[in-house]
Chain A
Amino acid sequence: MGKEELEKRIVLSPDGEPIEIDPINDYFCQDLPEVEKKSSIAILEKFQNWARSRSLWVLGFGTGCGAIEMRPLMTPKFDAYRYGIQWRPTPRQSDVFVISGYLSVKTLKRVIRSYEQMQGPKYVIALGSCTINGGMYWDSYNTINRLDHYIPVDVYIAGCMPRPEALLAGFEQLKKIIREGRGEGANLYAENFEWYKANQKKIIKDWDMPDYNW
C-alpha cells in the first residue's frame, strides 16, 4: 500500500467537479467490532454450532511454507473435502483462516486485514511451530514469535512441517470446539480489541490503514 494514495487530495469527477477525499476516513468504515451475543434459545444455539462445524470454508491465503501441505490435503490422497472443508478465494466467504507457518511483519499486516474482513463467527488454525513460539526463526528480526498476541487462535498444530494427517486431526479438533460453543475467536477479538491493536501497532511501524477494516 503506497503512502501517497492515502493522503488527502482533491480529485475531479468525470463531470469535472472537484471532490475532496480523505481515503482513510472515506473509503473505510470507522466502526469497531462488536461482541455478538449468543442466541437466547439454547437449542437454536446448539443447532447453529452444529451447522457451523459441518461446513468449514478455508481462506485461500498461503501465508508461509505450510501452504505446501494444503494441496495434498485437498487432493485425492487426503481429500479434506469429504469433511466439509473447502477453499474459498475471498475472506468474505470464508470462516477458517489457516495461518500456514511463520509470519513476517509484512505478511502480518495483510493477515490482519484479511482476518478483519472475514465475517464472524471466524476461526483461526495456526499451523507449525513457528506460530507458537517462533519455531526455528525465534531469533529472526522479521518474523513474529507468538501469533496469539495479534489475532485470537483456536487450534495450534505443532510440527515443522505438520503432516496432512495432523491437519485433519486439527480440523477435527476445531469442529469439536465449535460444537461445544467454544469457538469464540471473533468475540475475543472484539472484547480485547485495544490490546490486540496495541500489539499489532507495536511491530507494524508504518500503520497506514484504518483501525478496523471490514
Chain B
Amino acid sequence: MSKLFSIKEDRSLYPEKNVEGKIDVDLSSHKYLKMWHGPQHPGITGNMSLEITLLGDEVMDCETHVGYLHRGFEKLMERRKYIQCFPLVCRVAVPEPDFNEYCFAAAMEELAGIEVPETAQWLRTLVLEMGRLSSYLMWIGGQSGAFGQGIVGQWSNYMRDSILDRFEELTGGRIYHMYIIPGGVRGLLPDGFKDRMEENLKFIESMMKDIDRVMFNNAVFKKRSVGMGIIEKEWVTKFGITGPNARSTGIPMDVRKDYPYLMYPKLDFEPVTAQYSDIYNRADVRRRDLLMSVDLIRQIMAKMPEKGEIRAETPNVLHWKVPAGQTYKRAECTRGEYGYFMVSDGSEYPRRINVRGPSYTHAVALLEKMIINCNLSDIAGLMVSLHTYPPEIER
C-alpha cells in the first residue's frame, strides 16, 4: 500500500518506523500536527472521531475514538422482557434496522424451538432486502459526497425516500419498523404494493444508469479512488473483515450463501466479488450488490405466496420464558456480517445479548491500519468506502 502513496521526492526527512511499525511522534519538534477529525465534522461517518497525527498533509498515526453514541443497549435489554427488547434492537443500527430485528427474533425462535410459517419467512426476506437497498442508496450518496459530488447524494436520497415510502406502507414506520416479531411478522402486503414497488425499482434502475455515468465513469472519482485504500487478502481473517469489504478482495463470502437463512436458498444469486480491493472496487461491488438487491426483490415478489399464515403460535409474550441456552445468529447486512449472541437463563428476561456489528472490526483496527500514509483530504472517502457506522460499534 505504501508504494501507491509514495511521493517521489526526497523522503529522507520522513520519520523512521520503530519495531512496532509506528513512528515515535515528538510533538515539540514542530514537525507534526495533532488534530481531531470529528465528532463535529462533515467528513466523518456518523458520530465518531479520529485523533490523527499529520506530517504535512500525510497521516502518520491515527487512533479511533468511539463511544459518542453509547446507550448501553446490552445492559438495558437485561432489564426488559424479550418482547420489550424489540423497540430497542432496531435502534442499534439506524440505516437498516431490520437485520437487528431478524437476528434477535431468529435467536429467540431457535432457543424456544419455534418454526416460522413460510409466508412470514418470505416477508422477512423482502424486508431485509428492502433495508439493504435503502442502506446502499444512502451509502452511495456518502461515497460520492466524500469526493465532492453532491448531486449523487441528492438523487440517491430521493430514491431512498421512495423505498422508505414502501416501508411505511408495509410496516407503518419510515425508519424504525419493528415489523419482524418473534414467531413471524406483523402483517401481509397491502393491495397494490407489488406494482408500486416495481415502479420504484424501475426508477432506481434508470437512475443507477445516470449514477454510473456521473460517478463511476467520472475521471475525478476514478483518479481519487483507484489504487487508494487497498485491503490485502490476508487481512480478511486477521482483522475479521466481512461483507463487501471482504468480497472485494476476491473472497466470495456472503452469509446469504454460506449460512442460508430465511428464503435465500430459493433465490437465484451469486455473491458479488472483485479482483482486488481499493476504494473504486469496493464502491463497484456495492453498486452491483445494490442492483442484485433490486433483482432479489423482484424474485421475492414473484415467488412469494399472496396469502398465508404469518405468525406461529407463541406463548403469551408478557410471560414468555425462553428456555435456557446460548446461541449465535447471523445475517448479511450491507456492511458485513451482523450477528446476535443471545444467552438465556430460562427466565423472562434475557441474560445477555451481544451484538456483533461489522463496523466493530472495520472502523477501529482496520481503519487505524489503512489510514497510515493516507492524505488528509482522502480520509472521508476512505471511511465511507469501509461503510463504517458508529452505533453498532459501541451500541
Contacts and interface: CB of A to CB of B under 8 A. Distances in A.
Q: Do chains A and B touch in the complex (CB under 8 A)?
A: yes
Interface of A: 11-12, 14, 59-65, 67-69, 71-72, 75-77, 87, 89, 91, 102, 104, 106-107, 110, 114, 136-137, 139-143, 160-161, 163
A45 B67 CA distance: 43
Contacts of B109: none
B244 interface: no
Nearest to B174: A163
Contact of A77 (B71, B94, B158): B158
B331 interface: no
Contacts of A142: 70-72
Contacts of A11: 28
B160 A72 contact: yes
A75 B87 CA distance: 28
- The prevalent SS among residues of B at the interface is loop
A61 B67 CA distance: 15
B67 A77 contact: no
What 9 pairs between A and B have smallest CB-CB spacing?
A75-B157, A89-B42, A61-B40, A77-B161, A65-B94, A107-B68, A76-B158, A161-B175, A140-B72
Nearest to A136: B87
B76 A139 contact: yes
B87 A110 contact: no
A62 B153 contact: no
Interface of B: 28, 30, 39-42, 46-47, 67-72, 75-76, 79, 87-88, 91, 94-95, 138, 141, 153-154, 157-158, 160-161, 164, 174-176, 391
Contacts of B141: 71
Given A161-B174, A161-B176, A76 B70 contact: no
Given A71-B157, A77-B161, A91-B40, A62 B46 contact: yes
20 contacts: A60-B42, A61-B39, A62-B46, A63-B68, A64-B69, A65-B391, A71-B157, A72-B161, A75-B153, A75-B161, A76-B154, A76-B157, A89-B42, A104-B69, A104-B70, A107-B39, A136-B88, A140-B71, A140-B72, A163-B174
A56 B34 CA distance: 33
Contacts of B69: 64-65, 104, 107
A72 B164 contact: yes
Given A60-B42, A65-B391, A72-B157, A106 B67 contact: yes
